[in-house]
Structure 1
Amino acid sequence: MKITNGIKAIFLAGCALLMGCTSAPKNIDPVTEFQVKRYLGTWYEIVRQDHAFEEGLSEVTATYSMRDDGGVAVVNRGYSAEDKKWREAEGRAYFVNSSDVGHLKVSFFGPFYGAYVIFELDKKDYQYAMISGPSRDYFWLLSRTPRMPEEVKRRLLAKAKALGFPMDKLVNVVQSSKVPAS
């Protein structure tokens, strides 16, 4: 079968797009001296940019554990008040370069991966983290507890704003004691 230049260009553009999905946005640097074992466990979503896959969800958590293949298992869970039920997505993540750099690629379906860039982290106690996807259109502020001190939240969001994340698209995630055990 002969491959035309047009098909070749589409194929190469698709490959570049897929490979680019695991890159950090320009001027968003992943944390270094990252310790995955300290990051494992449950994190609560405090603020996010809303997307179709999380739209309308409250009580959102992300739980991380080690996989047998050296990767990280990811379970995202949230409550849909509209459907009156919990939604859950299971994925897997792998370090892009080194396990001591907070830059992973994550997949929730098939061979398609997206960037998971930890660009801010409470390295002392691992109590909060800010995450970016492959662009500034993806942002999460996570905490080890369902609520975060307001002064910490304001400081972190000011940093995200200074880095160019659109503040007008953020959603404050409702958290309560309804979160089911994993």
Structure 2
Amino acid sequence: MRPLSHSMLGLLTAIAFTGCAANAPMPHVDHLDLQRYMGAWYVIAAIPSYPERHAYNAVESYALLPDGKIQTTFRFRQGSFDGPLRTMHPVGTVRPGTGQAVWGMQFVWPIKAEYVVAYVNADYGNVIVARSKRDYVWIMARTPGLPEAVYQQLTARVAALGYDTHKLRKVPQQWPEPGP
């Protein structure tokens, strides 16, 4: 067997470290005040999962259950502002030792998707939810829109977390919703 050349060894090392960086643990906020976090969050932009790739008026709402789990309702219009209403009801489970900022989000038993609160501003008015795989990310706010300067700051944070921000899709929001 021939020994690896220095250039081949360097290339393999670079590939290995690149792969590791892509799945490095997602940093999260030190402590998430669950009571303050509960309620409705408008999805401002996302690198969306498959079901939400054509979402309009997307809103994620959280309610703390007596057992400490988080009941989630994700609702959106499919394809347009007057498109069919879609809802999902995953349940979040806080992972111990994470300052309440990392959850397992269960859509289907027994699979729990990683949910990481990577950033929340001081007044709990906007948030970035991310994943270590850096495949999906959500920028959300308590209002259906954000000033452009704030949106750009959040987008820069998303980039710093290791995401390709060219994949971000602004979610169209129009409130109140059009009537039937």
**TM-score, scaled to structure 2:** 0.80
Q: Bigger radius of gyration, 1 or 2?
A: 2
Question: Equivalent of 1:164, from 139, 153, 162?
Answer: 162
Cα deviation code 1:132-155 (max 9, x no counterpart): 124111100010000011111101
Equivalent residues in 2 for 1:95-110, closer than 5 Å? 95-98=94-97, 100-110=99-109
**Which runs of 5 or more residues in structure 1 are unaligned?**
1-23
Q: For residues 179 and 94 of structure 1, do their structure 2 counterparts lie closer, same or farther at Cα, with a shift above 3 Å needed?
A: farther
Matched with 1:79 is 77
Q: Which amino acid aligns with 1:87?
A: R
Q: What do residues 143-170 of structure 1 show as CA deviations (whole Å, max 9, x unaligned)?
A: 0000011111101111211221011211
Structure 2 residue aligned with 1:152: 150
1:137–1:166: 8 Å Cα contact kept in structure 2?
A: no
Query: Given that residues 78 and 86 in structure 1 are in contact (C-alpha distance below 8 angstroms), is that contact kept between their aligned partners in structure 2?
Result: yes
C-alpha contact (below 8 Å) 2:94/2:103 kept by paired residues? yes
Could you tell which deviates more after superposition, 95-104 or 165-174?
Answer: 95-104
Determine if contact 1:114/1:134 at 8 Å carries over to the other structure. Answer: no
- How do 1:47-66 and structure 2 match up within 5 A? 47-66=45-64
Q: CA-to-partner distance for each residue in 1:65-111, whole Å, 9 max, x for gaps?
A: 01132100000000013682100000100111247331111011111
Paired positions, count: 156
Instruction: Return closer, same or farther for 1:94/1:27 CA change in 2, 3 Å cut-off.
Output: closer
CA distance in 1, matches of 2:131, 2:177: 25
Which range moved further: 48-57 or 109-118?
48-57
Unaligned runs of 5+ in 2: 1-21
Match of 2:10 in 1: none
Larger CA deviation: 48-57 vs 92-101 = 92-101
Cα distance in structure 1, aligned partners of 2:59 and 2:24: 27
Which range is displaced more, 53-62 or 95-104?
95-104
**C-alpha root-mean-square deviation of aligned residues, in Å?**
2.0
